[in-house]
Chain A
Amino acid sequence: MPATRLWLLLLPAILTMVLVGVIPLFIVFEYSFYDIFTLDSRVWVGGHWYVDLLTSARFYESFLRSLTFSLVVLGLQFPLGICIALMIPREGPFRTSTLILLALPLVVPWNMIPIIWLSLVDIDTGMIGIALNRMNLTFDYKFNAIHTWALIVAMDTWHWIGLVAILAYSGLASISPSHYQAASIDQASRWQVFRWIQFPAMRNVLLMALLLRFMDSLMIYTEAFGINAGGPAAATAFLTLDLGEEMRGFDYGPAAARSMIYFVMTLFVVWVFLRSSAAQRRHD
């Protein structure tokens, strides 16, 4: 195929991504060096916002908090999602109904998710809230940090377990039945089947799922904010909270510098994931 035709095929996608991705990124980059009062009156401040942010304890605290959150939800959702995928039958109506069930939480608008979960634990009208109250258990997500965390982790798991399970299952679905037959002729144990047949088939999709889930949980915003607005006492103040606050306060300069730093973090994570998947492929 001639090079012109190749580039013509790629051009619409490139132009779209430039308009909605690359140009906005350049705008943030420029703004991050200014103190902006209104969009017409601004003062050059150089790397001031970057120095400010990278030397503030608050930034590192929220980073650690977000990282902890990511590790907790990934540690929960991946083993659970893989187990669910392994239990889905390979064909039949039960397969389809399980997949539909798993996809349900994915179609709920993100700002509705905290609203739904808050209504579930409501002490007067929520099913979980009423049940806990009957058992004389107090669930105080507003002022007890552990309870807030538990609620957000449960909510996030509910929201995303389906994605992990569906992706893991799509890997499993690519295994041809002859592999299983060969394994049973060799009298392979359940563990051996998992280790040498099922896990390798899932590895690539799981790596992609890991990247999507890691970034989404690290940068969780709408859902976590909706539960307790970062509280109690900043116990759930994740990375994106301050960014959202700066934008609400029209602090465009610091918000732009913060956006750039988060974008660089994103690039770094993507790079690490691609390197490890390439290393894995060479290893095979």
Chain B
Amino acid sequence: MILAARRLAAALSFMALALFILLPFFQVVQLSITSTLGTDEAQLGSFTLMNYRNIFASPALTASLINSVTYVTLNVALTLLVALPAAYAFSRHAFRGRRAFFITLLAFRVTPPVVLSLPVFILFSQLNLINTPVGIALVHCVFNVPIAIWILESFISAVPRQYDEAATLDGYSTVGFFMKYLIPVIAPGIGVAAFFCFVFSWVEVVFARTLTVTDGKPITMAISNLFGFQTDVGLVMAMTVFSLLPGLAMIYFVRNHIAKGFVVRS
């Protein structure tokens, strides 16, 4: 009896949670298939796929999709490349300045982008990194490298040290050891780190907006630019649906490992 009541309570709370989280998504999808301005083809408020067709009719919108995917992919690759060796060093060595380095990383991770956006813009103007995906991919390292080091370090620390020593005895160089030994054992960790870097880069707005003045606009800015005197809410929501797809795909890929990334050693 008590068990049944408890199960019912658990089921009800889960449904409440699901409703709370999913309701905004239902709203987005619903508006994206509604004619919100009204045309000859589709009356105001009627069902239509016109909004999705309009995305592909606009070169600015399709270009923005490509821009976003480009800088996010570049950022994930760059972040993993620099974070993996650092995470290994962090995991295996107690070196001087370790704590100071850790505090600095953490501080940059939580520094709001708006605080750094002005100097980054000035610096990147001089380096010719404005209006290009490379600039955004680089600047997003400021919060992604720390988070990647943190996640990868906890995965590497779960691998026994004897494992490294065995590889060294086999005569592997550092690069060979990383490629042949370390990366395969911590593959789930790399997946989780890639997931979080992808997500944080994909959702970031302030840097992405500041660094694209005339060209290379990300999807988030393309959506903001749709707002005007008479906003086509349906088109905005159709674009929003597209802006969610890569994130959803990433969640699906790491679904079984998502919670393991943060089991820090106590």
CA–CA, A16 and B148, complex, Å = 13
14 contacts between A and B (CB under 8 A): A8-B85, A10-B86, A14-B86, A24-B116, A106-B199, A111-B220, A111-B223, A115-B236, A128-B23, A208-B262, A240-B114, A263-B111, A266-B111, A266-B112
Q: Indicate if the CB atoms of B82 and A12 lie closer than 8 Å.
A: yes
Q: Indicate if the CB atoms of B251 and A107 lie closer than 8 Å.
A: yes
Interface status of A216 (Cβ within 8 A of chain B): yes
Q: Which residue of A lies closest to B112 (CB)?
A: A219
Q: Indicate if the CB atoms of A13 and B17 lie closer than 8 Å.
A: no
A109-B202, A216-B112, A243-B114 known, 6 other contacts, Cβ within 8 Å: A10-B85, A101-B17, A105-B21, A107-B248, A108-B243, A162-B21
Q: Indicate if the CB atoms of A107 and B23 lie closer than 8 Å.
A: no
CA–CA, A159 and B115, complex, Å = 22
| 3 A-B pairs closest in CB distance | A107-B247, A24-B119, A13-B86
Interface status of A279 (Cβ within 8 A of chain B): no
Residues from chain A with a CB closer than 8 A to the CB of B14 are 87, 98
| A274 in contact with B106 given A96-B256, A99-B259, A126-B27 (CB within 8 Å) | yes
Q: Which of A21-52 contact B (CB under 8 A)?
A: 21, 23-25, 27-28, 31, 39
Q: Indicate if the CB atoms of B110 and A270 lie closer than 8 Å.
A: yes
**Residues of B within 8 Å of A, CB-based: how many?**
89
Residues from chain B with a CB closer than 8 A to the CB of A167 are 262
Q: Type the 1/0 row for B132-157, where 1 means its CB is closer than 8 Å to any CB of A.
A: 00000011011001000100000000
Instruction: Select which of A14, A39, A216 is within 8 A of B110 by beta carbon.
Output: A216
Interface status of A59 (Cβ within 8 A of chain B): no
Interface status of B52 (Cβ within 8 A of chain A): no
Q: Type the 1/0 row for A95-128, where 1 means its CB is closer than 8 Å to any CB of B.
A: 0101111111111111110011101100001111
Instruction: Select which of A15, A99, A125, A161 is within 8 A of B258 by beta carbon.
Output: A99
Measured CB to CB, the residues of B under 8 A from A are: 10, 13-14, 17-18, 20-28, 30-31, 34, 36, 78, 81-83, 85-86, 88-89, 92-93, 95, 101-112, 114-120, 122-123, 138-139, 141-142, 145, 149, 174, 199, 202-206, 219-220, 223-224, 233, 236-237, 240, 243-244, 246-248, 250-252, 255-256, 258-264, 266
| A25 in contact with B119 given A106-B199, A125-B233, A211-B106 (CB within 8 Å) | yes
CA–CA, A158 and B244, complex, Å = 16
| A28 in contact with B263 given A107-B244, A158-B21 (CB within 8 Å) | no
| A173 in contact with B21 given A103-B258, A110-B204 (CB within 8 Å) | no
Residues from chain B with a CB closer than 8 A to the CB of A244 are 114
CA–CA, A107 and B237, complex, Å = 15
A61 to chain B, nearest CB (A): 19
Interface status of A169 (Cβ within 8 A of chain B): yes
Q: Indicate if the CB atoms of A108 and B244 lie closer than 8 Å.
A: yes
Residues from chain A with a CB closer than 8 A to the CB of B117 are 247
Q: Which of A182-239 contact B (CB under 8 A)?
A: 200-201, 203-205, 208, 211-212, 215-216, 219, 221-222
B251 to chain A, nearest CB (A): 5
Q: Indicate if the CB atoms of B27 and A5 lie closer than 8 Å.
A: no
Binds B, one of A71-79, A135-143, A252-260: A252-260
Q: Which residue of A lies closest to B178 (CB)?
A: A9
CA–CA, A24 and B78, complex, Å = 19
A213 to chain B, nearest CB (A): 10
CA–CA, A247 and B121, complex, Å = 11
CA–CA, A125 and B233, complex, Å = 10
Q: Which of A149-191 contact B (CB under 8 A)?
A: 158, 161-162, 166-167, 169-171, 173-174
Q: Indicate if the CB atoms of B23 and A120 lie closer than 8 Å.
A: yes
CA–CA, A274 and B106, complex, Å = 10
Interface status of A57 (Cβ within 8 A of chain B): no
Most buried by B among A8, A25, A269: A25
Residues from chain B with a CB closer than 8 A to the CB of A263 are 107, 111, 115
